Amino acid sequence: MSVLELVMDQEGAATPAERVAAAEGGGLSPNRARELREVLKHELVERLGLEAVASIAASRDPQKSRGELAVACRAILNGGQFASLSPEEGERLVSQVLDDVCGLGPLQRLLDDESVTEVMVNGKDALFFERDGTIHPAETVFDSDEQILMVVDRILAPLGRRFDRSCPIVNARLKNGDRVNAVAPPVAIDGPMVTIRKFSNRITSMARLVELGSLPPWYATLLSWAVRLRQDIAVAGGTGSGKTTLLNALSCEVPLGERIVTIEDSAELRFDSHPDVVRLEARTASIEGSGEITIRDLVKNALRMRPDRIVVGEVRGEEAVDMLQAMNTGHDGSLTTLHAGTPDEAVLRLVLMSRFGMDLPTDIIEEQVATALDLLVMSQRFPDGRRYITSLSTVGRAEGGGVSLGEVVSFDEGSRSWHLVGEPGFVQRALDEGTLEGGEVGEWRRSVC
C-alpha cells in the first residue's frame, strides 16, 4: 500500500487536528504555526504509524523520503482539518514538518541555502544566520531546548560524539566540511547554544578573491609570487575576517610538484587540483580523557612526512614554537594563520604562544620569529560584512634586537583602497636569480603605478 493510500485509508478516523480551531486570516502567529506543525506531525504518525514514518525518514535518499512524506502531509491538509490555511501557509507547514522529521528542523533550510555562511542558535527563541557578511534573524525558531538537543544529537550521531550535561562542549567537523560548535547547560546558561560554520569551496584561488573585491589584481599577483618563491607567510586577523579563506587561496598557489602537509583543528582547506597533499586533523580526548592528538603533535609528526610545505590552519598555543622551528629548518614557503588585530599584535602573540611551548627568554623567541617569518598579511572584516585583505608587512630582525616590521602594502579604511609603500626585496632577488621574468615584473610594476 502506498503512503497516499495509507493516509486515505485512515481519513475517517478521529484525529487531534479536529481539536484545533481554524487559523484566523492574516497569516499564522508563531505560536499558532508551532501548534499546527505539532498537530500535523502527530497526525502523520497516527495515519502511517511510527515505524513507517521512521523507516521512510531513515532512507538513504533524503529527497525520496521527503517526497513520500510530503504526499502524506498534503493529503492530511486536504482533508478539511486545516481548511483555513492558504496554499502558501500549507506548503510552509509541510516543509517545516519534513525538516523536523527528515532533517535538522529549523536549521535545515539555512544549511541548504548556499548563500548562508554561518548559523547561530542562542537557545530556543533565537536563531540567526550570516549572509554576505551580515547577521540576520531567522523566521523560524526552535520549539524547545529539547528539540535543539535532539537536532545536535542527530548531527553528531554519525560521528559517535556525545552532547549532554556530562559532555557540555563539543567541536566537530561534518562530512561535508561544516564545522559545529555546541554548548549545553549548565555551561550555557540560557539553553543550548550551537554555531555551525558552513564549508565553502567557492573561493579557492586568488583570482576569485580579486573578483570579490577583497584585494586588487596587483596585490594578488604579489602574494602569488610570494608563495611561489617560498616565502614563509602568516595571515592574521579577527574572527570571521577571512583568514582561512585567504590561506586556502594562497595554498592553491603552491606549485604542483611540491608535497604539502596540512594541519588543522577542523579540516577546512581544500586542494582539488593538487596531486600531493596530506591532510591531518587534531583530535580531542575521548570521554575517558585519552586519545587526544594536538596540533603540536601533528606539527612534530609532519616533519617526518617529507613535506615541502607545512600549512597550519591556525596556531593558538604552544604549537607556534614548532611551526617557527619548521620554518627555520628548511621548510620554506610554509603558511599559517593566527588571531590578531594588527601586525604588531600578531608578532606579540607569536612570541607569547611560543613561550608556552618552550621556556626560553623573550629575546630568543623574538629571534625565532624574526628569522622564521618573511611576510605578515592582515585580513579584516568591516561592519557592513565586507572582508578585505588589508596590509602586508615584511618581517625581519631589528637593529637593536627583536622583530622589525616593514610595511609593503598599506590599506586606507576610509576609501578602502590599497597603496604599495615599498617593493619587497624578494621580487628583485627573484628577478636577479631569473625565477621571475623581467617582462612579468615590469608589467606588474606598471600596473601598480
CATH topology of domain 108-197: Beta-Lactamase (3.30.450)
Within the chain, all domains assigned CATH 3.40.50.300 are found at 206-448
CATH class of the structural domain 206-448: alpha beta
Within the chain, all domains assigned CATH 3.30.450.90 are found at 108-197
Does residue 351 contact residue 363 with C-beta atoms inside 8 Å?
no
Kindly write down the DSSP assignment for every residue of 367-399, as one continuous string.
HHHHHH--EEEEEEE-TTS-EEEEEEEEEEE-T
What per-residue confidence (pLDDT) applies to 287? 66
- Give the Cα separation of 17 and 65 in Å (integer): 23
Q: Per-residue pLDDT for 194 more than 70?
A: yes
Q: pLDDT of 23-64, one tens digit each?
A: 333 466 777 777 787 888 788 888 888 788 777 777 777 788
Q: pLDDT of 67-126, one tens digit each?
A: 888 888 888 887 666 777 888 888 888 888 888 888 788 898 899 898 999 999 999 999
Does residue 375 contact residue 226 with C-beta atoms inside 8 Å?
yes
- Give the Cα separation of 310 and 263 in Å (integer): 8
